[in-house]
Amino acid sequence: MIDDKKLSNGCAFYIIITVCILFLVSISHGFHDRVGTNNSSYDPDALANRLEKEYDINIMWKGRGEYTRFNNSNVKATLTDKRMNSYLTLQKMEVILKRLPKGIFTEIKNNDSVKYYEGNRRKYSYIDIYFCNSIDVDGGYDIRGGYTAGLTGGYDDRSGLFIMLDISYPANINNTFAHELFHMFEWGIRDEYYNHRNGSSGVDFYKAWLDSNPAGYKYISETMSGNFNIYDIDLSYGIETEDKDHIFFVSKYAQASIQEDMAETFTHLLTDKGGNMMPKAYRSQHVQRKAKLLIDMLDRTYSTINKDAYWNRIYDELVETY
């Protein structure tokens, strides 16, 4: 004997289950369409193509781009095949790219940033950005226990420059990208430094920077070799101190070397989140002086940079009055 009431309830139950399954399947297909290759508005390749054209750069991940031209004997990296991570990274990168002076990468390619190596000007053929799952560097120092979030360098054959980004966690990629961009910009600043040493009109930016540190201070890369631990850092001059007049560095990693100090100081001038959201380190007169040194040297070094550059506005609005 069949209970009609139970049958009715059972049918209703199975209908509900079926509808839920169909709903989930439709969501799955919709998600696939949004991140797949059939819908160009959500396609990482299409977004990468546009950014490459607009900014005169090359963007590569596994299956995309010419990784075969990569040549740097100190670097080993695994390119990512995660398309969704690549798309999210591209979105965050675009926010930073839009804040850069128009034509800055073309100027870097056409102007040389290695004159002090070779004694003459030379052009670069490439500025390549690689999306990676992991990055390993031989012969360097590492403050983060073997983890390298980003890396900037040049090819052994001097044909181009590159930035590598570990995009395993795209949420923080804007800070990493801004940090690595400054390492690329800094090569031009080094040119000014070597001009000064050679008796020309260059400015000894590095001496001015070191004069902004505590008397006799040495970066950890000057006192230790190889890998080192975050706990090796003297925190008495960092963001941990309560007295803003004793803050000289915006982060622990800034105390690794003069290059990392500059890149960390610059990062927040390019990645502010709007409003009065600068880290408290920028209340320090010492950090403010370093920030002003950076933007003045960038203005001096690159013709595409002027007083309207994004970081100049951030300094005027958020740092100088902090």
Question: What's the pLDDT tens digit per position in 263-276?
Answer: 999 999 998 765 55
Do 76 and 99 share a structural domain? Answer: yes
Q: Is 152 helix (H, G, I), strand (E, B) or coil?
A: strand
Do 101 and 142 share a structural domain? Answer: yes
CA-to-CA distance for 72 and 74, rounded, in angstroms? 6
Q: Which helix (H) or strand (E) holds 261?
A: helix 258-270
Do 314 and 286 share a structural domain? Answer: yes
Do 23 and 99 share a structural domain? Answer: no
CA-to-CA distance for 46 and 39, rounded, in angstroms? 9
Q: Which residue range(s) make up the domain with 25?
A: 1-35
> Given this model, what pLDDT does residue 31 score?
35
Do 161 and 27 share a structural domain? Answer: no
Rounded (to 5) percent helix, strand, coil in the chain: 55, 10, 35
Do 96 and 135 share a structural domain? Answer: yes
**CA nearest 208: which of 291, 91, 152?**
291
Do 58 and 12 share a structural domain? Answer: no
**CA nearest 56: which of 111, 126, 113, 123?**
126
- At 141-190, the pLDDT tens digits run 454 445 688 999 888 888 888 999 999 988 889 999 999 999 999 877 77
Do 5 and 107 share a structural domain? Answer: no
Q: How many domains is the chain partitioned into structurally?
A: 2
Is the four-CA dihedral 195, 200, 203, 207 of positive or negative sign? positive
- pTM exceeds 0.85, yes or no: no
Do 31 and 44 share a structural domain? Answer: no
